[in-house]
Chain A
Amino acid sequence: MTVLATESLEEPGARVSTRRRVPGEVGIWVLILGDLVVFTYIFAVFLAERSNEPVVFAAGSEHLNQNYGIIYTLILLLSSLYVVRALHRLRSADGHAAARNFLGAFACGLAFLALKVTEWMHEADAGHTLTSDHFFTFYFLMTGLHALHLVIGLFLLIYLAVLARRPAPGRSQWILFEGGACFWHMVDFLWMVIFPLLYLMP
């Protein structure tokens, strides 16, 4: 007798700890915490270089426009709020409202990116590039890597918005919703560290 193996994605009660629930799934935290470790490493190298060349780093930081930095921060905080609201709407089974909130977060991210490119061009016009000095190397490296994460996040948000409009999300969709939200909060959080390091350190 032949049995057709059809594996279902749903695994009710499969090794799910009842004591504590991890948002998304355990695996996504490997990516998120791993990313935070790398950025921490880059921040440490930044601080070490900064203590080697305090004058260059102070001059570079002085030159950056803090208004940009503050606007970025507000935009990203707003985007995270949208994502939180989106998950709330999902829990109350209102997929369309959730999708609208995901798109709201997407719009914030897009605004961030547009502003970032403007700032990069503004810096390049002033003669500051990746190679002009060590401060600007780090400036472009950190903001560049951060922007790359943000772009990946933008694709995720669009995908989540599409997913949210579908009826009755299953367990694997919930993993995506929560994992994607955590990823976006990580992008937001990283900026909260990059901002004071580059723009505010006296």
Chain B
Amino acid sequence: MCTWAAPACTLVFFGAFAIAGYLVPPSPGASPQETADFYANNTDTIRLGLVLMCFAGGLWIIWSAQMTNQMLRIEGRSAPLAWTQLAMGTCACIEFIMPAYFWLTASYRERDPEMQQMLNDMGWLPFDGFVWTIIWQNAVIGAAVLMDKRATPLFPRWYGYMSIWVAFLYLPSGFNVFFKDGPLAWNGAISWWLLLASIFGWLMVTTYLLLQAVARQERETAAGTLAGDPISDLERRVALLERQAQAEERVHA
């Protein structure tokens, strides 16, 4: 169930952004007056869309938690990558909500055009440019997938490489503060559209593979053979040692 939070997050995000009229971002080069007019003319759709979008942020954490579960099956008890992934996923939620509230503040009352422009900037720059955490989220998922020592890994190895590659795709968006037009500005071909396409594509692949990994976990749990799980291996070993110790006690007694 938790895995479905990933496509749900995508769906809510796109729907909400379409309602708000944000899917095609306004130009960073727009004049203060144009920006102020945008907020004055679409006040309610902006409010509705962005409030809805804040839901998408929470959904991001839910699927990240499921990913953490699967990564724990790869790493075992000492799982820095799994916890890093969860923490980075948590940051992503804030990165949805915080910029939305700058935009919502702009839609809250009519102000000087310059102030509206500032609030608009404060939303768009981080919303497009806060890639610094999802880059790490993708990278540690990729690293964990490639570390898997199972004969048949939980995730296919190509997915590990793909996650690392997609992390690199997010990078150019982080430089949007340098530009007011062109492909690297917050509404540009590379900075915005490539970012959306790569997150969306990667998330769909992730959903499919995560569903498979969870299904496998359920099968193995039912069969009592969590193959290659470091944690269940450990538990088996502990149980074995305990039985040996009991046997030795009986011998000495």
Contacts and interface: CB of A to CB of B under 8 A. Distances in A.
Interface residues of B, number: 35
Interface in B28-76: none
Interface in B149-170: 149-151, 156-162, 164-166, 168-169
A4 B149 CA distance: 15
Interface string A19-45: 000000111101100110010011001
B29 to A, nearest CB: 13
A27 B156 contact: yes
Contact of A130 (B162, B178, B194, B237): B178
Contacts of B149: 7, 9
Interface string A167-178: 000000000000
A131 interface: yes
B236 A2 contact: yes
B74 to A, nearest CB: 12
Interface string B208-248: 00000000000000000001100001001101100100000
B151 A7 contact: yes
B240 A4 contact: yes
Contacts of B243: 2
A77 to B, nearest CB: 24
B189 A137 contact: no
27 contacts: A2-B236, A2-B239, A2-B243, A4-B236, A5-B227, A5-B228, A7-B150, A7-B227, A8-B151, A9-B149, A26-B158, A27-B156, A27-B159, A27-B161, A30-B158, A30-B161, A31-B162, A34-B162, A35-B165, A38-B169, A41-B190, A41-B194, A45-B183, A130-B175, A130-B178, A137-B184, A141-B184
B113 interface: no
B165 A30 contact: yes
Nearest to B162: A30
Contacts of A141: 172, 184
A5 B190 contact: no
Given A2-B236, A31-B164, A141-B184, A131 B179 contact: yes
Contact of B158 (A2, A27, A42): A27
Interface of A: 2, 4-5, 7-9, 11, 14, 25-28, 30-31, 34-35, 38, 41-42, 45, 49, 130-131, 134, 137, 141, 145, 148
Nearest to A134: B182
A27 B153 CA distance: 13
Given A2-B240, A38-B168, A38-B169, A7 B162 contact: no
A35 B172 CA distance: 13
Contacts of B156: 27
Contact of A34 (B165, B172, B228): B165
Nearest to B181: A134
A14 B151 contact: yes
Given A130-B178, A131-B178, A31 B161 contact: yes
A31 B165 contact: yes
Contacts of A28: 161
Nearest to B233: A5
B116 to A, nearest CB: 24
Contacts of B172: 141, 145
B17 to A, nearest CB: 23
Contacts of A38: 168-169, 194
A30 B157 CA distance: 10
